[in-house]
Amino acid sequence: MLKPDIRQGAAVSSASAARKVAPSHTPISSAQRKVIYLACPYTDPSPAVRRERFEAATAAAAELIRQGEIVYSPITMTHPIDMVLAGASNTLGSDYWVAFDEAFMNFCDEMVILDIDGWDRSNGIARERSYFAEHGKPIRFMSKITAGRV
């Protein structure tokens, strides 16, 4: 299976992605490189779906970091906190995290939407996408990482 390298439009094999490989180089400072905001749907009544989305977001963030990118993944950051605050079977929901998201969206230079089930129905992604569009920041898509999951 091939998955895209969104920076250069190249593809890498899943065999190379399956290896747990440290980044080939240390990322340079954010003053010299763009910072990516990785958007992924999260809110769902099912704790199992939320967990799957957290894992997909974390694997995608790891792949981008492996490629040398600087990434902020709100789902990777907030899922564990959401579980502490709301409990394992509940969620605070997208509206709770708006102020947190906007602080990071303001800092980030571009948005990458993880193309997984639910992205096109996500109120959070719609809000984030509008923010990036209104601020003239690029928006791209990334396919789900199926190998090398965290």
pLDDT at 84: 84
- Residue-wise DSSP of 42-99: ---S-HHHHHHHHHHHHHHHHHHHHTT-EEE-HHHHHHHHHHHHH-TT----GGGGHH
* pLDDT of amino acid 129: 96
Cα–Cα dist 47/18, whole Å = 26
Joined together, the tokens standing for residue 100 give 């947190």
Residues 83-101 have pLDDT tens digits of 788 777 777 777 777 888 8
Query: Taking 50 as the threshold, does the pLDDT of residue 103 lie above it?
Result: yes
Residue pLDDT, tens place only, 16-70: 444 455 555 555 554 567 999 999 999 888 999 999 999 999 999 999 999 999 9
Q: What is the pTM of this model?
A: 0.75
The chain-wide mean pLDDT, for the chain, equals: 79
Yes or no: say if 135 and 108 are a contact pair by the CB < 8 Å rule.
Answer: no
The residue that leads in pLDDT, 25 or 103, is 103
Q: What percent of the chain has pLDDT over 90?
A: 52
Q: How many CA atoms, within 13 angstroms, populate the side-chain half-sphere of residue 100? A: 16
Domains of the chain: 35-143 (3.40.50.10400)
What pLDDT does residue 26 have? 58
Which residues neighbour 37 within 8 Å (Cβ) at sequence distance 6 or greater? 72, 74, 104, 105, 108, 110, 111, 112, 128, 132
Residue 119 DSSP SS3: helix
Q: What is the rounded average pLDDT of the residues 102-125?
A: 94
